Amino acid sequence: MSPEALASLLDEPALAAPSGVTANFDNPPNSNTLAWVVTTFCTVVLTICFLLRIFAQLWLDRRVGIEEVLMIGAYGAYWGTAYAGYALIYTPGYYVHMWNLHNKDLIRPLYLILIYGCCYSTVLPLIKTAILLDWCRIFVPLNRTRNAFWWGCVSVITLQCVWGVLCILLLNMQCRPHEAIWKFYLPSKCYSLPDVMLTSASVQVASDITMFFLPQRIIWRLRMNWQKRIGVSIIFGVGILASVAACFRLSHTVAFANTTDTMYLIGPLLFWACGEMTCGFFILSVPCLSKLIIESGLPRSVKQALGFGSKPSEPSYEGSEQPHRSGQSDALRLHPMGPWLKGTDTIWSKIGDEDHGHDVLRNSGKSESQTSLHRAQADGRN
């Protein structure tokens, strides 16, 4: 193509305007303020969840595990989507109809969308793998690792990792040569990108729904009163938020695949994708958040303010100054779900009372956090 023909092509409207509509190339209507608010809100919430998880692990558990390493990787990849999301505000803008754009206005956005898609496909497998590994550390019994819950977690992790790698490859191989993905005027061979987007959205919806139901069966078989079961169920049921975000993203992906005005509909698609990633970090931080709230003494302060505090003759204790009542040990206090397991007949309530308690855990090769809910599950079956 000659330079003159290319210049003429790039100056043409990206889409013919509907009948009775006049194109506005100079200052097209947009919703960039909404994009600023949504992207910034998700980034702030996600960052707070990230910092809370890191702080809880360093302060309470005094360790950094594979879950935190995966979360750090996911957080780094998220900034790739944040960069692309903010850059799209400037070119071409959010909720801008394509008949208000020239063909040359599409080059930069197509490149940014590719970056967003690759980073998004990195964030979700990393953060969901971290969530499921964290749940395995809490729920999987010591003497029977390959139960239904374990296999469910492994299946979702495998699906996420395999599809994440495959999706990134498909996104980058959609056109030959690679540069034709955003330089659409180059001679090339390309396949339909919406097919990949629909598959990706469907995989995430299926994974999120599965993750929502995975821990519920174990939780409702624990030896707790129903109030505590509801509390734990809510903590591990916040995955419903990710399911809702994924369903909305799937809905907008279907609409995106069936329209020619793609730049207008890419906005809500990216909003829900951003919300889905934020939900992932929120889900990972919730167990630690509940522990931080209880360790801070906030519930006790609220009870005292409402007149439900402890009696003067019964001194209250916080943190490490609290005596070991009913045989409770520091191990239970440090476990992410420790506050919810107090009063249950678990191994946590016996560690510290039995001389060989720590030796058993040390020789088993398992973490203490894997032990707590195991005993609760066993008692629930008896």
pLDDT, tens digit (0-9, with 9 covering 90-100), for 92-133: 999 999 999 999 999 999 999 999 999 999 999 999 999 999
pLDDT, tens digit (0-9, with 9 covering 90-100), for 47-95: 999 999 998 888 777 788 899 999 999 999 999 999 999 999 998 999 9
Asked whether the predicted pLDDT for residue 299 surpasses 50, the reply is yes
Contact at 8 Å (CB) between 138 and 370? Answer: yes
pLDDT, tens digit (0-9, with 9 covering 90-100), for 152-191: 999 999 999 999 999 999 999 999 999 999 999 999 899 8
pLDDT at 297: 65
Asked whether the predicted pLDDT for residue 361 surpasses 50, the reply is no
pTM of the model: 0.77
Between residues 232 and 343, which one has the greater pLDDT?
232
Extract the tokens encoding 161.
């990792």
Could you give phi then psi for residue 95, rounded to 5 degrees? 60, 45
Contact at 8 Å (CB) between 210 and 132? Answer: no
Give the DSSP H or E segment for 310.
Answer: none
Distance CA 72, CA 59 (A): 17
Distance CA 136, CA 215 (A): 10
Sequence-distant (≥ 6) Cβ neighbours of residue 186 within 8 angstroms: 177, 179, 180
Domain limits, the chain: 29-295
CATH second-level architecture of 29-295? Up-down Bundle (1.20)
